[in-house]
Amino acid sequence: MRTRLLLVEDDELISQALGMALRDEDFDVVEVPSGERALEVLTDTPVDVVLLDLMLPGIDGLEVCRRLRTDGTLPIIVITARTASDDIIAGLEAGADDYVTKPLVAAELTARIRALLRRSGPTRRPVTAVAGLELRPDEETLFRDGTEIHLTRTEFRLLAELAANADTVVTREQLLRRVWEHEYFGDTRLLDVHIRRLRRKIEPAPDTPSIILTVRGIGYKMAAQPSTVDN
């Protein structure tokens, strides 16, 4: 069965051109022009990845992303013409797994989609217990004291990578390559926002993290036992 994409784009010419290019890459593409229509379609149409323009009439892309993230792990790539840092970060904070900026290059977007689908598969690692957390890779679920903590698939992959290297510094570049499979040429916003999202979910005090520690100028490490100081 072909991978099905939901393309949410209000510009008809962009939607048609991008839809055609993605179908040429053997994707099944459902095109909708608004956030409202996207939410309607998703109630009864299974899709594998959402391609979501941020600037939409009515319900904008940020709100659609937030609604999809309230209880779901559907992979989301936001599409934005806004290259300003604050706008990209807003899309990631809303729950997007990745982002691309306009003007779009179909080959780059295709590569991002396929990388996202690869990391949506099972990680094939044993159950890991670290820092009071239990990671179950086959199910891509996280538990603390028997209670599940909801993570997106990308958040789980990132946490699993850090947990597999507990008490070892992992550079930003290594995490970007291992989790997103891309070179971001010094742009670490994608990683840093996901780290913040993870901290909000697993840290007792996210503003003074004790589990995912920053190693300034290098990257991050996960403490096998919660620390009292963020490096």
The Cβ-side half-sphere exposure at 44, using a 13 Å CA radius, reads 2
The pair of structure tokens assigned to 150 is 């909801």
Spatial distance between the Cα atoms of 126 and 164, rounded to a whole number of angstroms: 10
CB atoms within 10 A of CB 137: 18
The pair of structure tokens assigned to 98 is 């990745």
Q: Do the beta carbons of residue 77 and residue 6 sit within 8 Å? A: no
Rounded to the nearest 5 degrees, what angle is found at the Cα of 11, between the Cα atoms of 7 and 16? 60
Please list, in sequence order, all residues whose beta carbon lies within 8 angstroms of the beta carbon of residue 167, skipping any fewer than 6 positions away.
221, 222, 223, 224
pLDDT at 72: 85
The pair of structure tokens assigned to 202 is 């697993």
Q: Do the beta carbons of residue 116 and residue 106 sit within 8 Å? A: no
pLDDT at 229: 43
pLDDT at 139: 85
pLDDT at 80: 86
- Tens digit of each residue's pLDDT, the chain (231 residues): 789 999 999 999 999 999 999 999 999 999 999 999 999 999 999 999 999 999 999 999 999 999 999 878 899 999 988 666 788 899 999 999 999 988 888 888 999 999 888 876 555 667 788 889 999 988 889 999 999 999 999 999 999 999 999 999 999 999 999 898 876 555 688 999 999 999 999 999 999 999 999 999 999 999 988 754 444
pLDDT at 125: 64
Query: Which of 209, 186, 185, 177 is closest to 196 using CA atoms?
Result: 209
pLDDT at 204: 93
Spatial distance between the Cα atoms of 156 and 14, rounded to a whole number of angstroms: 33
Cis amide linkage into residue 33, ω under 30° from 0: no
pLDDT at 64: 96
Spatial distance between the Cα atoms of 123 and 178, rounded to a whole number of angstroms: 12
Phi and psi at residue 28, to the nearest 5°: -95, 120
pLDDT at 83: 64
